[in-house]
Amino acid sequence: MTGVLEVLVWWAALTGIWLVLIGTVDPLEILAGAAAALAGALLARAGRRAVTDR
């Protein structure tokens, strides 16, 4: 459960940053940003686990 929460928090933060940085907010940009943020969130969790779970 904490893993899902961690990914969700990362996803929300990265999506928020994406929305702030893009100029035009249209549905395709939101979808692309959300997908990229999900990939980034999963990689951030994997990176943290690789460093701390030894």
Closest CA to 6 of 52, 46, 53: 46
Residue 53, classed as helix, strand or coil, is: coil
8: Cβ–Cβ under 8 A, 6 or more apart, which residues?
41
What is the pTM (predicted TM-score) of this model? 0.82
**Domain interval for residue 23:** 2-52
How many domains is the chain built from?
A: 1
CA angle 27, 40, 5 (to 5 degrees): 95
What is the CB neighbour count within 10 angstroms for residue 10?
19
> For each of the chain's 54 residues, which pLDDT tens digit applies?
788 999 999 999 999 999 899 877 889 989 999 999 999 999 999 999 999 876
